[in-house]
A = this chain, B = another copy of it.
Amino acid sequence: MRYPSHLLKLIQAFRKLPGVGNKSAERFAFHLMNWDRGTLSEMAELIKRIPDEIHSCAECGCFTDKESCQFCHPERLTTGVLCVIASPRDAYAIEETREFKGIYQVLGGLLSPLDGIGPDLLAIPSLLRRIQTFNVREVVIALDSTLEGDTTALYIKRELDSLSVITSRLAFGLPMGSSLDYVDGGTLARAFAGRGKF
């Protein structure tokens, strides 16, 4: 007995979500069968209205639901510090730390030749333009500590070589609350090399 076709389509739609395989998609779809019409309509409406409610800031690339992007607030534009992030989501994680008061630049991805993502797909021109416009003196590169993140960070560093800006990158080391027993060798090596006076 096959699933009803509507159920099958729903499962296929859920499978498009990140990290969702067949089993999870089925669980989600069957779970929705128990929702009442009102809750289903509400969820449908939320999904459908995303493009009307949220857009990317034309300047920094962060998500916003306002006319003017909150991340591009005038107070932030004059700090002279710009943080390079891969996706809009990273901005919220960095905001939570309360360590940063400058502006953001969303790249829209990381360099990955194997996936066909070259520099032309990243917001490098916008980064260069805004560094000039807002007299940025420090560019903080807040990218993943992966091969793609390293490659992209290096590429950006070289692009900025001719400009008079300081480039910095997030520190590598032990995650907070971790035990040496459980930390991988690469992390430990970076933490060792980057040790500081105590």
Contacts and interface: CB of A to CB of B under 8 A. Distances in A.
A27 interface: yes
A65 B10 contact: no
A123 to B, nearest CB: 15
Contacts of A150: none
Contacts of A71: 1
B37 A51 contact: yes
Given A3-B92, A7-B54, A53-B4, A47 B65 contact: no
A35 B16 CA distance: 10
How many copies of the polypeptide does the oligomer hold? 2
B48 A41 contact: yes
Given A1-B95, A63-B7, A87 B18 contact: no
A50 interface: yes
Interface in A40-61: 40-51, 53-54
A147 interface: no
A110 to B, nearest CB: 15
Given A1-B70, A4-B64, A51-B40, A46 B91 contact: no
A128 B35 CA distance: 28
A141 B187 CA distance: 52
B44 A48 contact: yes
Contacts of A35: 16, 50
Given A4-B54, A47-B40, A54-B4, A18 B28 contact: yes
Interface string A108-140: 000000000000000000000000000000000
Contacts of A92: 1, 3
Interface of A: 1, 3-7, 9-10, 13, 16-20, 24, 26-28, 30-33, 35, 37, 39-51, 53-54, 63-65, 70-71, 87-89, 91-92, 95
